[in-house]
Amino acid sequence: MAQRWHELLFAHWVVPASLLRPLIPSRLEIDTRDGQAWLGVIPFRMSGVRLRGTPPVPGLSAFPELNVRSYVTCDGKPGVWFFSLDAGNAIAVAVARTWFHLPYFRARMRSAGNGEWIEYRSERTHSDAPPAKLQVRYRACGTEQRPEPGTLAHWLTERYCLYAADARENIYCGEIHHAPWKLTSAESEFEANTMAEGLGVELPRMEPVLYFAERQEVLVWPPRRLSPARRGRTQKARSKKPAGANR
């Protein structure tokens, strides 16, 4: 698929990895930086959503989206784990839930510019889903630049695959391609944010780490099911004792 992402706010909070561990399949390792796990709330809007090589379909190819995510590795490969993806397009939600095995939810959403500010609202309307609401205004600050490897901005954003799981906890990997991010610092005013409450996670009372990206052209490949983990190797690793353990 080809997609175009606009006016992204990357808002991140430090959260205990122990809170996220029960929410993520055991095969995936929670990726931490300096021992800390991170949870991101990322509002943006999409356009040009289409199968590659086909034209966008009017009414189906442009809509707001809102992601709640954290970061994982699988067999040493870093990627993104989505706790929820709210979208303002019911057909896109149905297709993504089936095709990508991702927790997409229908929502009533609006993203509009007001001078330098983006005013963004989302309220989940999906049946049998925990309520979730976001009301925020944000804007870019500073000079646009590519984050340097080793920086927090690079660690949070430069990830080129997503992981998902089906009802049997089979793990899927979807490859993503885009140019390196061009980010600026950002300013935000949150009036409502209950996006993590349905997970049982309380965001800390701290100012989030914020970055803004104006636009990104993206290619997304169909997800592939990963082969099951090799149990023998896992059991051997778990049974290995440190030297001197039996002394």
Pairwise CA distance, residues 154 & 148, whole Å: 6
Residue of higher predicted confidence among 37 and 97 = 37
Assigned domain for 246 exists: no
Distances in Å between the Cα of 115 and the Cα atoms of 2, 11, 88, 119 are 29, 21, 23, 10
Query: Are the beta carbons of 42 and 69 closer than 8 angstroms?
Result: yes
Q: What is the structure's pLDDT at 231?
A: 56
Q: Indicate whether 245 belongs to any domain.
A: no
The proportion of the chain whose per-residue pLDDT surpasses 90, expressed as a percent, equals: 79
Predicted local confidence at residue 230, as pLDDT = 63
Q: Is residue 145 part of a domain?
A: yes
pTM for this model (two decimals): 0.90
Q: Is residue 244, in this structure, part of any structural domain at all? A: no
Work out how many domains the chain is built from and give that number: 1
Domain harbouring 130, CATH code: 2.40.400.10
Confidence at 183, pLDDT banded by 50, 70, 90 = very high
Domain extent, residue 96, equals 2-239
Note whether 201 and 15 are within 8 A (CB). Answer: yes
CA 192 to the chain's CA centroid: 19
| pLDDT of 150 strictly over 60 | yes
Tell me, yes or no, whether 177 lies in a domain.
yes
